[in-house]
């Protein structure tokens, strides 16, 4: 647990979010400390994606507060939140299949970005540099996930928000994505949703578990890894919901 707001880059306090008439988030609170990786865990349908979408302003919260670097962003529009330096890698990836890898990356660049971001992306994902002229829609699922992550990384990020990067990927590709994220860990603050416990353990410093739209656990990621009862209670056997 963080002791004061000064230690949080991102703080969610008692967040409530509706989708239509459904009261999906019913009290999500979490802190993301600067320079650390916070993993958001919870079974299928717990509200992980909705939490991230509320942070980005895509599914705005109806109650509670979201502060970023001490400023209230609860009611801020998505483009303004992104301009504060929040990179988002959505669960469904949203890669433009008809465009090339390079076009996908250039479209994602915000005005005023430098060549550093593109250089970083090519260093982390040499495969993408080789396939710069290839249509993104012709890539494997793993390569498309790398494009999705790379699109966030071409910009300087103060916070990177990533939704289940391992979803639907073969174990060998999960390892590649884990390595790439491990390489930027320490230089970028990350809020990561991940149900793959091995990946969560490899990357996570702090863990938050939500269940039925509420925060039920906050503590070190290593404690979650070691606590099978906690896993059985909130993450479910096989994490299949
Ligand atoms: N567009 C929608 N309309 C209605 N209900 C929705 C919608 N999107 C999500 N929900 C519901 O909100 C709840 C939380 O969904 P959310 O996608 O945030 O869960 P999640 O933890 O990300 O799940 P998963 O692990 O499957 O990605 C679920 O009960 C889901 O059925
Ligand atoms: Mg989700």
Residues 134 and 193 in one domain: no
User: In the listed set 136, 155, 174, which residue is the last one of a domain according to the structure?
Assistant: 155
pLDDT of residue 113: 76
Whether residue 101 sits in one domain with residue 79: no
Burial, 217: exposed, middle or buried (Cβ in 10 Å; 0-12, 13-18, 19+)? middle
Does residue 22's CB lie within 6 angstroms of at least one atom of ligand 1?
yes
- Considering every ligand atom shown, identify the ligand nearest to the alpha carbon of residue 25 and give its number: 1
Amino acid 56: pLDDT: 98
Nearest-CA residue for atom 7 of ligand 1: 19
Do 172 and 224 fall into the same domain? yes
Q: What pLDDT score was predicted for residue 6?
A: 55
Same-domain check for residues 58 and 11: yes
In a domain, 90, yes or no: no
Alpha-carbon span 20 to 22, nearest angstrom = 6
Ligand nearest the Cα of residue 54 is: 1
Counting ligands in written order, the one closest to the CA of 46 is 1
Please give the average pLDDT of every successive group of 10 residues along the chain, which has 241 residues: 66 98 98 98 97 98 97 96 95 94 94 84 93 96 95 95 95 93 93 96 98 98 96 74 39
Beta strands in the chain (DSSP E): 10-19, 22-32, 37-41, 63-68, 71-72, 86-89, 159-163, 189-193, 206-211, 214-220
Query: For residue 112, what are the domain limits?
Result: 96-155
User: Residue 195 Cα, ligand 1 centroid: separation in angstroms?
Assistant: 15
Name the domain boundary from 155, 174, 206: 155
Mutate to test the pocket of ligand 1, among 18, 28, 39, 46 (most ligand atoms within 8 A of CB): 46
Report pLDDT digits (tens) over 67-81: 999 999 999 999 999
The domain that holds 186 is classified in CATH as: 3.40.50.300
Together in a domain, 39 and 120: no
Give me the pLDDT at residue 239, please: 43
For residues 101 and 75, membership in a common domain is answered with no
Residue 90 CB less than 6 A away from ligand 1: no
How much is the pLDDT for 18?
A: 98
CB of 48 shorter than 6 A to ligand 1 = yes
Give me ligand 2 centre to Cα 49, in Å: 4
Structural domains counted in the chain: 2
Q: Determine, yes or no, domain membership for 91.
A: no
81 and 165 in one domain? yes
Regarding whether 149 and 77 lie in a shared domain, the answer is no
Q: What is residue 110's predicted lDDT score, i.e. its pLDDT?
A: 86
Burial of 21 (0-12, 13-18, 19+ CB in 10 A): exposed
Q: Are residues 143 and 187 in the same domain?
A: no
Same domain, 36 and 55: yes
Residues 196 and 164 in one domain: yes
Do 161 and 78 fall into the same domain? yes
């Amino acid at each position: 647990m963080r002791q004061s707001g000064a230690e949080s880059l991102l703080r969610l306090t008692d967040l409530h979010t509706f989708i239509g008439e459904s009261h999906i988030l019913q009290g999500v609170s979490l802190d993301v400390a600067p320079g650390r990786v916070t993993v958001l865990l919870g079974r299928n349908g717990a509200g992980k994606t909705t939490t991230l979408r509320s942070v980005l302003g895509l599914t705005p919260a109806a109650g509670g507060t979201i502060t970023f670097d001490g400023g209230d962003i609860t009611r801020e529009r998505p483009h303004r939140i992104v301009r504060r330096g929040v990179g988002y890698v959505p669960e469904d990836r949203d890669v433009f299949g008809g465009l090339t890898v390079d076009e996908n990356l250039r479209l994602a660049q915000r005005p005023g970005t430098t060549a550093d971001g593109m250089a970083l992306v090519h260093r982390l994902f040499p495969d993408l540099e080789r396939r710069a002229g290839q249509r993104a829609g012709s890539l494997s699922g793993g390569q498309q996930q790398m494009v999705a992550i790379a699109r966030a990384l071409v910009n300087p990020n103060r916070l990177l928000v990533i939704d289940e990067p391992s979803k639907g990927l073969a174990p060998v590709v999960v390892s590649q994505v884990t390595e790439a994220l491990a390489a930027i860990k320490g230089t970028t603050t990350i809020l990561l949703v991940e149900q793959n416990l091995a990946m969560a353990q490899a990357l996570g410093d702090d863990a938050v578990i939500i269940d039925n739209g509420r925060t039920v656990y906050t503590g070190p990621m290593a404690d979650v890894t070691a606590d099978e009862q906690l896993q059985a209670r909130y993450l479910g056997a096989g994490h299949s919901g």
